[in-house]
Structure formats: C-alpha cells, structure tokens
Amino acid sequence: MPDLTKLVSSIQRAKSTADAKKLRFTGLSEAQLNARLNAPALRSLGAAPPMIVWQSWSSITTPGGSISYNVGIHNPAGEQVWLFAHVFVGPANFVADPGAAVQAVDARFPRLTEPAFDGLRIPAGGDASLSFQVDVPANVQQSNYLGNTFLFRADWHDVGVYLDRGVFIFGVGAV
C-alpha cells in the first residue's frame, strides 16, 4: 500500500507550483486516492495501476496561441515501463469506452504523445510528470475546449493497455 501522506503532499506541492504560475489545477483528494487504491477489482489483481493524480494548465489563450498542460502520474505498484500520455482536444470525456473516446477528436488541434521512446519508467510508489504545449489553430472560434489525456502502457508487438484519463477545459478568446 503506497504512503498516502507522501502522495497527498506531492499533489499539494504540484498545486502550490500551479498556483504560483497562475495555472488551473485539479488533483485527487486523499479520499479519492484511497478509493482508487483500494477498489475491490484492483485488490483482486494485487495492485492498482499507474494513474493520473494531478493536472495543471493555462486557462485561456488567443486563436493562434498555445496552452501549457502538465500531468502528474503516480505508480502505486511494481515498476512500470513503456508508459505514455496522449493529449488531444475533443468531447472524449463523456464517452465511456476508451477506444471510442480517443476517436472523439477535434481534428483542428494537434494530437500529442509524450515522452519519447521508450516511455516513462516509474518505480513502485514513484511519481513523474509530463509537460505539453497544445498549439491552438488561428481559425478556431472563441469558446471553451475540452483537452483530454489518456495514460497507457505501450506493447510493441500487441495491443497496449489503457490505464487512466483526465480532462482539462481551456478557453480561446481575448486574454
């Protein structure tokens, strides 16, 4: 079982950093972490998989600008290899099936995946973060947009494994 106090402190540090940079922030609470780490379905597997535990992002930009986005990932179990985060814009958050959700894309925006080959390696109980710059096309309407992050483990010769997802909402308009 991971050290919840250490994990909650890590999330609080990420929030303090985001606040200092005037970024939006979401993070899992201690109760949410406890529920995820102790879910009955996961206990039968022996451990919870890597998960997104916090996100921070710039809240608004102009058409042709960019949004900075950061995601924090925690690995409660054994060493995980070949972990990647895929970021895109579209209405994927309310599509339950991950396979269908990654197709709910606003094609005007880029699709980004980090890190480079061969992915993140996060030891048991460890954390990592990834940063993205999402370029906003100059021809999009002034509105709010849904950014999505999908965390997955790649398999070089078979189907990868979906692990978790997050959503972040940003505005495009006058800054």
The stretch 25-37 carries a mean pLDDT of 94
Cross-strand partners of 80: 122
User: Which of 2-6, 9-13, 47-51, 157-161 is least confident?
Assistant: 2-6
Please name which of 82, 78, 80, 74 lies closest in space to residue 124, comparing C-alpha atoms.
Answer: 78
- Domain 4-172, CATH: 2.70.50.60
Structural domain boundaries in the chain: 4-172
Reported as a single tens digit per residue, the pLDDT across 57-92 is 999 999 999 999 999 999 998 777 899 999 999 999
Q: Residue 3: is the preceding peptide bond cis (ω within 30°)? A: no
The pLDDT, as a whole number, for residue 44 is: 55
**pLDDT at residue 47 is higher than 80:** no
Reported as a single tens digit per residue, the pLDDT across 32-42 is 999 988 876 65
Q: What are the residues whose beta carbons fall under 8 Å from the beta carbon of 154, sequence distance 6 or more?
A: 82, 83, 84, 119, 160
